[in-house]
Structure formats: structure tokens, C-alpha cells
């Protein structure tokens, strides 16, 4: 990757977090070019990373090995159509991080037979702790797949899907997932303050417990069910709480919640297909 020239179209929150991740992982700043239509964003990215940030997408694509598309989904069609002749000439690997835009639509707007990777990151990518699913079109070779994976791994975990339709499930799980955990933390904090803890203590104990549990699960060889059983002594306090949650239907509730998110993701993806 060190010899690759990578251009970012869109230097907003996500574009900048990827640029930051790549530089932290040793990519030289002169390998990266950014663009943004927003002058403030250009200024922010240029001063934050000491990289070249242009206004002109066509200029940024010149000699690029990889073009990362980090604009909002609703700007994608117009952005790609405006640079399609340059893409046909340079033939870079395209990586789109836009939620919901399918490979077939990206290919249609960008031009024929370009290697394209679609990535679905989540917001913790902003602090290099993201979870990203990737899928590639038929024109993407092994070297390009490795390159895309390395780029996305600079902001956290990255894994491949063979079936693009599973992106809607990924969106429901890891895409929307941070909000589910925020909700759980929110209601745990509230419950603990009702039982007498100060807000400050309830907050910090909740957050550290969530962090510790996630770290334990990530570092353990056991699955989450085993880990749960290991901290649930028969007749103990944890068992009492888990019985309330299980009897309250937490499993069915999450199944329903993820299904609703998956269906909404598919609906939004269909509506983003353009004309
Ligand atoms: N933020 C997340 O956590 C997250 C998670 C998963 C996926 N994503 C995806 O990541 C993408 C970027 O999200 P973001 O939060 O970084 O958005 P953002 O902060 O709005 O950044 C996008 C930037 O691109 C600029 N832009 C628009 N059209 C352009 C063009 N034709 N050429 C160059 N720059 C252009 C925008 O300018 P204007 O503001 O002036 O339009 C904006 O500065 C989205 O597609 C989103 O679906 C984001």
C-alpha cells in the first residue's frame, strides 16, 4: 500500500477518519490527495493532515491507484457521473463507503468494467474502532481486494461478504448497532440512578462495564453465551436480572429490531438507485 496513490473524494467526518487512520498506519502524506466541494472541509483536512486537498475531483483522480468515495449517498450519482470519463482513462480501484449504494449502481454511474469495492463502516471508525463489511464486484482482483481491506482496517475491523444482499443485515447489526448499545447504556444508567447512585457514578460504572465486557468477549476464546453463563451463578444476583430480561422478551425484541432495520436498509437502498 505504501506505493499506492490514494485520492479521497469528500473530506468530511468519514473521509478524514480514514485519512487519519492511514497516516497513523504509516502511509506517507504525499500518497494522499483529498477533495471537497466545501472550502471549510478542505481547509480542515489540509491543516489536520498536511495533505494536498483540491477542489477539482478530476485533477485528484489523475494517476490515482485508489479513489475512495466518501460523499453522502444522495451526492454519489452526480459525483460519479461528473468524473466517469477520467475514471475510464485512469482505471483506479473505487471504494465507496456510502451507505446503501449498491455495486451495480456505482458501476452504472462510474462507467463500465471498473473494479469497485463497497464498504459499510460504522461510526466508531471515527475513533479507529470501527467494524466494516466489504464486498467487491467481478472486476476487482486479489491485489485490489487486499488494498481495500488494508485501507478499511486502518479504522478498525474489516471482513468480506460474498453476498452483497447481506449488506442490509450488516447495516442492521453493526451499522445501526452502536445506537443499540448507547440505548442499553442509557437505560442502565437511569435504572442505577433510580436505585440511588449519583449520575456521575452510574455513568462511569456503566461505560467501563460495557467496555470491559466487550474487551473480554473480544479477547476470549469462548462465545458470548458461555461468557454469560460463567458470570451467572445459580441463585445469584445476575441470574435474577437475566431472568427479568429473558422473561421480558429481550431475545424476540432484538430479533424484531434487527429485522425492522434490515428491511428499512433494503428500502433505502432501493430508493438510492437513482434514475
Ligand atoms: N459518518 C459515519 O459514521 C458513517 C458511517 C457509515 C457510512 N458512512 C458514509 O460515509 C459517507 C460520508 O459520510 P460523512 O459523515 O463523512 O459525510 P460528510 O461529513 O457530509 O462528508 C462528505 C463531504 O463530501 C462533500 N462533497 C459532496 N459532494 C462532493 C463532491 N462532488 N466532490 C467532493 N466533495 C463532495 C460534502 O460537502 P457538502 O457538505 O458541502 O455537501 C462533505 O464535505 C456517507 O456516504 C455515509 O453514508 C458514514
Last residue of a domain, one of 133, 167, 201: 167
Q: Is pLDDT at 274 greater than 90 in this prediction?
A: no
- Show the domain range for 63: 6-167
- What is the mean predicted confidence (pLDDT) over 77-90? 95
Q: Is the shortest distance between the CB of 9 and ligand 1 below 6 Å?
A: yes
Claim to verify: residue 245 and residue 145 sit in the same structural domain: no
pLDDT band at 3 (very low <50, low <70, confident <90, very high): confident
Overall number of domains in the chain: 2
What's the Cα-to-Cα distance from 74 to each of 98, 126, 260, 268, rounded to whole Å? 9, 21, 22, 11
Residue 145 shares a structural domain with residue 196:
no
Is the pLDDT assigned to residue 122 strictly greater than 90?
yes
Ligand 1 pocket test, candidate residues 9, 11, 35, 36, most atoms within 8 A of CB:
36
My answer on whether 138 and 183 are in the same domain is no
Whether the predicted pLDDT of 2 surpasses 80:
no
> How many angstroms does the Cα of residue 125 sit away from the middle of ligand 1?
14
Distance 139 CA to ligand 1 centre (A): 25
> Which residue, judged by its Cα, is nearest atom 21 of ligand 1?
12
Q: Does residue 275 sit within a domain?
A: no
Please give the share of the chain, as a percent, with pLDDT higher than 90.
93
Q: What is the CATH number of the domain that holds 245?
A: 1.10.3730.10
Nearest ligand 1 atom, CA 125? 3
Residues 127 and 189 in one domain: no
Is residue 28 within 8 Å of 2, Cβ to Cβ? yes
Going by alpha carbons, the residue nearest to atom 31 of ligand 1 is 79
Q: Is the pLDDT of residue 275 over 60?
A: no
Q: Which of 129, 148, 167 is the endpoint of a domain? A: 167
The predicted-structure confidence for 57-81, as pLDDT tens digits, reads as follows 999 999 999 999 999 999 999 999 9
The three cell numbers locating residue 268: 433505502
Q: What is the pLDDT of residues 185-200, one digit of tens each?
A: 999 999 999 999 999 9
Could you tell which of 16, 19, 37, 157 is best to mutate to test the pocket of ligand 1, judged by most ligand atoms within 8 Å of the CB? 37
Kindly report the three-state secondary structure assignment for every residue of the chain: CCCCCEEEECCCHHHHHHHHHHHHCCCCHHHEEEECCCHHHHHHHHHHHCCEEECCHHHHHCCCCEEEECCCHHHHHHHHHHHHHHHHHHCCEEEECCCCCCHHHHHHHHCCCCCEEEEECCHHHHHCCEEEEEEECCCCCHHHHHHHHHHHHCCEEEEECCCHHHHHHHHHHHHCHHHHHHHHHHHHHHHHHHCCCCHHHHHHHHHHHHHHHHHHHHHCCCCHHHHHHHCCCCCCHHHHHHHHHHHCCHHHHHHHHHHHHHHHHHHHHHHCCCC
Q: How far apart are CA 183 and CA 135, in angstroms?
A: 29
- 82, 201: one domain: no
Give this prediction's pTM. 0.92
Amino acid at each position: 500500500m505504501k506505493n499506492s496513490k490514494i485520492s479521497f473524494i469528500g473530506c468530511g467526518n468519514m473521509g478524514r477518519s480514514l485519512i487519519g487512520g492511514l497516516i497513523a498506519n504509516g502511509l506517507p502524506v504525499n500518497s494522499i490527495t483529498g477533495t471537497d466541494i466545501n472550502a471549510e472541509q478542505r481547509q480542515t483536512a489540509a491543516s489536520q493532515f498536511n495533505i494536498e486537498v483540491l477542489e477539482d475531483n478530476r485533477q485528484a483522480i489523475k494517476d490515482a491507484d485508489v479513489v475512495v468515495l466518501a460523499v453522502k449517498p444522495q451526492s454519489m450519482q452526480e459525483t460519479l457521473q461528473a468524473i466517469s470519463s477520467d475514471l475510464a482513462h485512469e482505471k483506479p480501484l473505487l471504494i465507496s463507503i456510502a451507505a446503501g449504494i449498491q455495486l451495480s449502481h456505482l458501476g452504472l454511474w462510474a462507467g463500465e468494467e471498473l473494479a469497485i469495492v463497497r464498504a459499510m463502516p460504522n461510526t466508531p471508525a471515527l475513533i479507529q474502532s470501527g467494524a466494516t463489511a466489504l464486498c467487491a464486484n467481478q472486476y476487482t482482483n486479489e491485489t485490489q481486494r487486499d488494498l481495500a481491506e488494508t485501507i478499511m482496517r486502518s479504522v478498525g475491523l474489516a471482513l468480506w461478504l460474498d453476498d452483497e444482499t447481506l449488506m442490509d443485515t450488516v447495516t442492521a447489526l453493526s451499522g445501526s448497532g452502536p445506537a443499540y448499545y448507547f440505548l442499553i447504556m442509557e437505560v442502565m444508567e437511569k435504572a442505577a440512578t433510580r436505585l440511588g447512585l449519583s449520575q456521575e457514578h452510574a455513568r462511569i460504572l456503566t461505560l467501563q462495564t460495557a467496555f470491559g465486557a466487550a474487551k473480554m468477549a473480544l479477547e476470549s476464546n469462548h462465545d458470548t453465551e458461555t461468557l454469560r453463563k460463567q458470570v451467572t451463578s445459580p441463585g445469584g444476583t445476575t441470574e435474577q436480572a437475566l431472568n427479568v430480561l429473558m422473561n421480558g422478551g429481550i431475545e424476540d425484541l432484538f430479533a424484531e429490531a434487527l429485522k425492522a432495520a434490515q428491511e428499512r436498509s433494503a428500502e433505502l437502498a432501493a430508493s438510492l438507485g437513482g434514475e
